[in-house]
Structure formats: structure tokens, C-alpha cells
């Protein structure tokens, strides 16, 4: 989706703590610019443009977010205008300047490629993104307000809570509909695909009418019964269609995934701790162009999906991805770790979570265990929208509380240990963790 040529780098962003294209947020390591990618997709030329801009205007460090977007870190105070100009020239801006914040629509990274998909969601996604950008009233939505659309692909992040979600049903002509993170087997109704834009528009208009000071759907529905909200919608919903449960997972298998198109596969690679250097993104762009269709798909698991790889080239491309520095082996402990920017880059961080995660990976490797662990420098949990199986929450002094996700327990889950060093955490996992569960 191309930006309006009249969009200017002089656009004034509204106040928010969230980075955006024009709203470059200060951090200890410099400014942060968030580049929102439609469907998480960018061309090889766009990837090279981002990499070049990150080197020219920032520190060369890029972050992959849990909404399949990119962040450029270390942006210098005098480089804001030049950075935005680079990104707009590459077609990486919104259609309308005021709409940058609301382009929050998450798709499966395998949309249009996954053989298990019941619907190619990309055409509908184009309509929904246009609706969000071309409706001035929707520009007032919070920068965190988010939508999700999935075609029932195998590669879908179902743990990510969204304000509104749509999920394809068998036959590919209808979509289940839900609000505020309700699970797929507890959908609120079913709508025809052709009616989805009308439904989304009605939901967003009703939310803005009723929200008051609330910025998220879950906040509104904590006060207003869901049934009352649905009763006010002008779009009819089928409430009697049986829905199938879908397993939720915070991670998917790295490596090869089959593709719907004959003789082609997709390769899913992890970015260590969600970060890439500009030179790595440039190399990925070259690889996508040489071996695939010239497209990269970012994932909500902070990785990269390389689609359209000929089966005969799978081994060679896998080797090339590993040489670039990406992770393709789920048995590697680092592939199971998430970490926020931590005290090295964030004033709220109580520990250097990135460095601690690298050390923890060494300890886990020695202990021959691969738990899924989220290291969070503070309770905001910026690196993970979902609750990880295990969370190490930093405490003053750089030690950590250890939590385990537990059904029915709010927040990070059940507290297992109140104060651990990273060495003690590594020893705890080595002693207690086996086959994905704790003793």
C-alpha cells in the first residue's frame, strides 16, 4: 500500500509513548523509529532502504516487534527528518500522515502461502487497512489498538491479544469474530467475508462512541457487558454456528514449512533476541531476491519468513540464513528466549536483559534444556504481548523473580522463585525443566 505523495516529513505526531514514523521516541541508546509494515511484508528494495537508513541515521540496530513491524534504534536528534524522508521514499509510510498510528492489523506471515489456510486474507487486509487510514475518526484510536485477521493458517500467533479479531472458517466464505482477546472457540459470532469491512467499521465507530477515557476494548468491556455492546451493532451476526477449538502457542517451529504453491517452501528463521544489524537485513534482502520472490515477511515471533524458495534450493538457503546469523534450530536455547531492551537502552529497565539472556542461553546450552523464557526489565512486558511459559522479571539490583504461566493466575503466572541471579536461574532450569514442563 503506497503512501500519499503529499504526505510530508513535517507532519506533527500526536502525543504517545509508542514510537511511530514521525514520533521518534527517546531512549538511552538514542531515538526509536517504528516502521509499520502492511501484513509484516517488505520487498527486498524496501529492506535495503531500511538497512541503509538505519546505518545513515541510526546505530544500525534494528528490532523486530511482536506485531511484525521494524524499529530503527539509535536515531540521532539531528537525523529525524532525513530518516523519515528515506522511509517515505521507499514507500514505507501511511496513505495519510495522521493514519500512521492506526495501521495495526496483524496477519499470518504465511498469508497467501500456507497450504492449511482456508482464505487468502491479503485482499481483505488491503480493504481494512484502507478503512483505517481513510476514515479520519479512526485516527483517534490509541496507537496500541490492534486488529488481527487470520485465514486459519498453521503459522498464526493466537496468543497475541487483539481488540478485534477475524478468523476464517471452513469454506473460506465466513469469518469468526471476537473482541478483546476472547479465544477462537469462544467467538462472539460469524460474518460473511464480504461484510467484514462493514462489521469492523461498525465496531470501531461504536467503540469510539462508548469508550470515553478507555483506549482499549478490554477496558470498555470490563464495564459494559459484551452482549450489550453486540446488541448495539448494526451488522447482523450469526451466533449459532459451531466453532472449532484451535491450539494456542507462543512459538512455532523454525526451519522449513510447506507452501501451497507447488515445488516451493517457506523458511522460518529467528532473529536472536529480536534484533538484527543493518548488514544482516541487507543480506536477507539479497538472499530473498536471489533465491525467492524478493519478499520478506516479518513474524510476530520476532523472526523472518522467507517464502517462495524452490525445494531444490532449501538446503543452500538454510545454510545462507545461518551464515547471516539467524536461528533455524529450535534446539538452540537462544531461539526460545525473548528479552526487552533492558537497562542498557531503557531508563525503566532494572537489568541488562539482552546481555543476561545471552548468558542464560550459554547456561541452558550447558544444561541441555530449552525452556521458553521471557526476560523482562520491568513489569510492562514490552518484548512479549503474550504470557510466556516462563518469565524472569527484573528486580532492583539486577536479580530476577521467576514466574511460570499458570491457568487462572493473572499476570506472569505463578511465582516460583522471588530472587535469582542469572546463574541461579540457569541452574534452576537445568534441575527442573524437562520436555517443556517444570518438575
| pLDDT value at 159 more than 70 | yes
Q: Give a yes or no: residue 177 inside a domain.
A: yes
Q: Predicted confidence band at 244 (pLDDT cuts at 50, 70, 90)?
A: low
Classify the C-alpha dihedral 190-192-195-197 as positive or negative: positive
| pLDDT value at 9 more than 60 | no
User: How far apart are alpha carbons 216 and 221 in whole angstroms?
Assistant: 9
Q: Give a yes or no: residue 19 inside a domain.
A: no
Three-state DSSP state, 80? helix
| pLDDT value at 184 more than 80 | no
Residue 409's contacts (CB-CB under 8 Å, 6 or more residues apart) are none
Domain tally, the chain: 4
State the CB neighbour count (10 A cutoff) for residue 315: 10
The pLDDT tens digits for 318-355 are: 999 999 999 999 889 999 999 999 999 999 999 999 99
Q: Give a yes or no: residue 362 inside a domain.
A: yes
pLDDT reported for residue 251: 61
E-state strands within 204-344: 255-258, 264-270, 275-277, 295-298, 303-310, 337-339
Q: Give a yes or no: residue 127 inside a domain.
A: yes
Check whether residue 318 and residue 350 sit in a common domain. Answer: no
C-alpha grid cell for residue 406? Answer: 499458570
| pLDDT value at 8 more than 70 | no
Q: Predicted confidence band at 245 (pLDDT cuts at 50, 70, 90)?
A: low
Q: Give a yes or no: residue 320 inside a domain.
A: yes
User: How far apart are alpha carbons 2 and 181 in whole angstroms?
Assistant: 30
Q: Give a yes or no: residue 54 inside a domain.
A: yes
| pLDDT value at 15 more than 50 | yes
Instruction: Determine what percent of the chain falls in helix, strand and coil, rounding each to the nearest 5.
Output: 35, 25, 45
Mean pLDDT (whole number) for 100-124: 96
User: How far apart are alpha carbons 367 and 293 in whole angstroms?
Assistant: 40
Last residue of a domain, one of 169, 200, 232: 232
Looking at the DSSP assignment, which residues form a beta bridge with residue 65? none
User: How far apart are alpha carbons 257 and 377 in whole angstroms?
Assistant: 33
| pLDDT value at 371 more than 80 | yes
Check whether residue 323 and residue 338 sit in a common domain. Answer: no
238 φ/ψ angles, rounded to the nearest 5 degrees: -80, 120
265 φ/ψ angles, rounded to the nearest 5 degrees: -135, 165
Check whether residue 200 and residue 299 sit in a common domain. Answer: no
pLDDT reported for residue 247: 56
> What is the average pLDDT value for the chain, to the nearest integer?
91
Q: Give a yes or no: residue 113 inside a domain.
A: no
With CA atoms as reference, report the closest residue to 81 among 140, 24, 138.
24
State the CB neighbour count (10 A cutoff) for residue 247: 6
Share of the chain above pLDDT 90, in %: 82
Check whether residue 196 and residue 285 sit in a common domain. Answer: no
User: How far apart are alpha carbons 339 and 63 in whole angstroms?
Assistant: 11
- Between the two ends of the chain, the Cα-to-Cα distance in Å is 50
DSSP symbols for 7-35: --TTPPPPP-SS--SS--EEETTEEEEEE
CATH of the domain at 416: 3.30.413.10
Check whether residue 352 and residue 376 sit in a common domain. Answer: yes
The pLDDT tens digits for 384-418 are: 877 889 999 999 999 999 999 998 888 899 999 99
C-alpha grid cell for residue 285? Answer: 534482502
- Angstrom distances, CA of residue 39 to CA of 52, 107, 110, 296, 299: 22, 5, 10, 11, 9
Check whether residue 339 and residue 324 sit in a common domain. Answer: no
Q: Of residues 114 and 242, which shows the higher confidence score?
A: 114
| Mean pLDDT comparison of 16-25, 168-177, 290-299, highest-scoring range | 290-299
What is the residue range of 273's domain? 255-329
CATH of the domain at 290: 3.30.70.3340
Amino acid at each position: 500500500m503506497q503512501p500519499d505523495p503529499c504526505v510530508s516529513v513535517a507532519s506533527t505526531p500526536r502525543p504517545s509513548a509508542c514510537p511511530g514514523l514521525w514520533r521518534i521516541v527517546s531512549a538511552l541508546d538514542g531515538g526509536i523509529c517504528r516502521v509499520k509494515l502492511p501484513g509484516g511484508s517488505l520487498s527486498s528494495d524496501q529492506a535495503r532502504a531500511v538497512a541503509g537508513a538505519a546505518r545513515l541515521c541510526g546505530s544500525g540496530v534494528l528490532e523486530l516487534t511482536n506485531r511484525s513491524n521494524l524499529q530503527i534504534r539509535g536515531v540521532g536528534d539531528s537525523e529525524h527528518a532525513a530518516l523519515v524522508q528515506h522511509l517515505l521514499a521507499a514507500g514505507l509510510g501511511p496513505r495519510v500522515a495522521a493514519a500512521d498510528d492506526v495501521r495495526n492489523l496483524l496477519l499470518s506471515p504465511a498469508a497467501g502461502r500456507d497450504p492449511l489456510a482456508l482464505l487468502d486474507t491479503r485482499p481483505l487486509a488491503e480493504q481494512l487497512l484502507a478503512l483505517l487510514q481513510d476514515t479520519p475518526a479512526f485516527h483517534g484510536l490509541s496507537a496500541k489498538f490492534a486488529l488481527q485477521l487470520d485465514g486459519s493458517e498453521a503459522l498464526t500467533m493466537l496468543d497475541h491479544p487483539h481488540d478485534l479479531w477475524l478468523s476464517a472458517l471452513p469454506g473460506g466464505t465466513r469469518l469468526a469474530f471476537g473482541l478483546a482477546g476472547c479465544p477462537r472457540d469462544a467467538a462472539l459470532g460469524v460474518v460473511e467475508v464480504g461484510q467484514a469491512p462493514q462489521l469492523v467499521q461498525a465496531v470501531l465507530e461504536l467503540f469510539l462512541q462508548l469508550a470515553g477515557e478507555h483506549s482499549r476494548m478490554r477496558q470498555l468491556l470490563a464495564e459494559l457487558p459484551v452482549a450489550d455492546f453486540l446488541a448495539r451493532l448494526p451488522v447482523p451476526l450469526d451466533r449459532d454456528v459451531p466453532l472449532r477449538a484451535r491450539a494456542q502457542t507462543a512459538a512455532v517451529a523454525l526451519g522449513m514449512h510447506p507452501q501451497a504453491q507447488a515445488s516451493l517452501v517457506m523458511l522460518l528463521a529467528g532473529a536472536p533476541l529480536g534484533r538484527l544489524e543493518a548488514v544482516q537485513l541487507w543480506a536477507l534482502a539479497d538472499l530473498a531476491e536471489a533465491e525467492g520472490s524478493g519478499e520478506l515477511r516479518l513474524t510476530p515471533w520476532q523472526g523472518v519468513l522467507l517464502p517462495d524458495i524452490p525445494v531444490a534450493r532449501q538446503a543452500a538457503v538454510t545454510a545462507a540464513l545461518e551464515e547471516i546469523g539467524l536461528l533455524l534450530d529450535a534446539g538452540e536455547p537462544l531461539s526460545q528466549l525473548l528479552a526487552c531492551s533492558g537497562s542498557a537502552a531503557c531508563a525503566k529497565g532494572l537489568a541488562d536483559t539482552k546481555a543476561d539472556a545471552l548468558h542464560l542461553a550459554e547456561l541452558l546450552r550447558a544444561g541441555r534444556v530449552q525452556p521458553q523464557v521471557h526476560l523482562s526489565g520491568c513489569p510492562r512486558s514490552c518484548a512479549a504481548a503474550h504470557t510466556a511459559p516462563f518469565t524472569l522479571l527484573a528486580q532492583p539490583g539486577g536479580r530476577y523473580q521467576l514466574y511460570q504461566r499458570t491457568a487462572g493466575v493473572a499476570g506472569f503466572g505463578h511465582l516460583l522463585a522471588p530472587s535469582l541471579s542469572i546463574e541461579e536461574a540457569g541452574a534452576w532450569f537445568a534441575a527442573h525443566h524437562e520436555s517443556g514442563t517444570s518438575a
